[in-house]
Amino acid sequence: MSDLQNDRPKAMQIHLNPKNIFWCCVIIGFVYLAFLIWGKDDKFPELAVEIRDVISYAVLAVEMGGHAVAKIYQENSLNIKSKGNTDVGKEELLTRADLVSNHLILGLLKRFPAMNVVTEEKNEHMSESEVEKYRDDNYDLWLNVRGALEKIPSQKYDFSRMSIWIDPLDATQEFTEGLLEYVTVMACVTLDGKPVFGAIYRPFYNETIFGLVNWGLMNSQGEKIALKSPDKVPKTIIVSRSHTGQVKDLADKVFNGTYTVEKAGGAGYKTLRLINGTAEFYIHTTAIKKWDLCAGDALIRAAGGELIDLDGQPLDYSPDSEVVNKKGLLMAIRNPYSVLSRIRNHMPPK
C-alpha cells in the first residue's frame, strides 16, 4: 500500500518533467511529418490552399493596381498639359501605369509562392522606390471588401491545379485617349484550366464586380447582383472599337438587321455590359489575348452564361496553353449555342 502511494507521485513527476514533454513533442512531430511525407502513396504532400484566401488577394490586387492606374493618370494628365507634349506623354503614361499596376499586383500575389501567375508584363522589373508611393495599405483595402469576401464559401484545392491570370490595365488604347469608362484591371483564378473566379475593377469609377462560378456575382459592398430579365435587355451586340466593320457585316447577316452593333473598348468593360443587361452579346472575330478574357469568362459563367470561341469550344486557361485565342469569341448569358450555330451558318468556310 505504501509502495503504491510512493509510486504514483514518482510516475507523475516523470510525466510532467519539461524535458520529457519536450522530447515527447519532438517525437510526435517527427512521426507526424513521416506520416505526411510517406503516408500518401509515397508521394510528396501537395499544398492545399483555401480558395477564399486566393480570392481575397486577387480582389486586393486589382484594387491596388487600379488605384495606381488612376493616380498615375491624374499625375500625367497634369504633366502632359504642362509640357504640351501629348504623343510621347501618352506612351510614357501607358507604360508606367501598366508596369506599376503589374508590379503591385504581382507583389500581393507573392503571398502564394507556389501559385502560377500568368501576365503580360511578367519579365518587366521596376524599382521598389518607383512603385512605393502607389502602394495602398493592405489592411485598409481589405476593410473595404471584407464584408463581400466573408460571404464567399470555403473550399480547398491543391496549388498545382490553380493559376491566376491578370490584366494590369485593360483598354490601354482608350486609356491613352482619356476614354476612362472603358478602363479595367482584372484578375482571374482558374482551376484545371477553367475560370472559377473573376474580379473586374474600374479604377475611374471605384467599382469592383466579382463572380464565383456556381455561386454568383457580387459588388464590393457585398451585394449580390441580380440579372435583368431577358425581355429588358436591348438587342445590342457589343464589339471591339478596332474591328467593328467585320462584326457588323456578320451581325447584319445573322440577325437580319434586328440588332444594334455598338463599339466599346476593353473586354472587361464589354463583359460588364452583358452583366448589367445593357447588351446581349459580345462578339469578336480577330485574335485576342486570354488575360483580356479570363476574368470576364469567370463572371459570365457565374451569371450562368458562356464564353466560347467561334468553333464552339470554351477557352483553355492552363498555364502552359497558348496565350492568344485566334478563334474569335462569343459571350452571352443566354442561348450562346443557338446564336453560335446561326453565326457559323454565315461564316465563310475554312
Contact residues for ligand NAG, defined by CB under 6 A = 144, 181, 206, 220-221, 256-257, 269, 272-273, 276, 278
The reply, when asked if residue 170 is annotated as ligand binding, is yes
Q: Tell the smallest beta-carbon distance from residue 90 to ligand NAG (Å).
A: 23
The reply, when asked if residue 292 is annotated as ligand binding, is yes
Q: In what order do the strands lie in the sheet with 184-191?
A: 116-119, 162-170, 184-191, 194-202, 207-212, 216-219
* Cα gap 319→339, rounded to integer Å: 30
Taking a C-beta distance cutoff of 8 angstroms, is the pair 277, 271 a contact? no
User: For the chain, how many residues are written?
Assistant: 350
The grid cell for 280 is 446581349
Taking a C-beta distance cutoff of 8 angstroms, is the pair 274, 300 a contact? yes
Q: Tell the smallest beta-carbon distance from residue 319 to ligand NAG (Å).
A: 29
Cβ proximity to ligand NAG, 142 vs 159, nearer residue: 142
Q: Tell the smallest beta-carbon distance from residue 278 to ligand NAG (Å).
A: 5
For 15, the enclosing helix (H) or strand (E) is helix 2-16
Pairing of strands 324-325, 288-289: antiparallel
The reply, when asked if residue 167 is annotated as ligand binding, is yes
Q: Tell the smallest beta-carbon distance from residue 121 to ligand NAG (Å).
A: 24
Q: Tell the smallest beta-carbon distance from residue 180 to ligand NAG (Å).
A: 11
- ∠87-92-97 over CA atoms, to 5°? 130
Tell me the backbone φ, ψ of residue 333, rounded to 5 degrees: -80, -35
Cβ proximity to ligand NAG, 180 vs 310, nearer residue: 180
Cβ proximity to ligand NAG, 18 vs 257, nearer residue: 257
The grid cell for 206 is 471605384
Q: Tell the smallest beta-carbon distance from residue 166 to ligand NAG (Å).
A: 19
Cβ proximity to ligand NAG, 277 vs 314, nearer residue: 277
Cβ proximity to ligand NAG, 152 vs 272, nearer residue: 272
Cβ proximity to ligand NAG, 151 vs 194, nearer residue: 151
DSSP letter for each residue of 159-172: GGGEEEEEEEEE-H
Cβ proximity to ligand NAG, 90 vs 273, nearer residue: 273
Nearest to 53 by CA among 189, 144, 207: 189
Positive/negative CA dihedral, 171, 173, 179, 180: positive
Q: Tell the smallest beta-carbon distance from residue 271 to ligand NAG (Å).
A: 9
Nearest to 93 by CA among 59, 68, 61, 127: 68
The reply, when asked if residue 120 is annotated as ligand binding, is yes
Residues 6+ apart with CB under 8 A from 140: none
Taking a C-beta distance cutoff of 8 angstroms, is the pair 68, 134 a contact? yes
316: DSSP letter? P
Binding residues for Mg(2+) are 120, 167, 169-170, 292
Binding residues are 120, 167, 169-170, 292
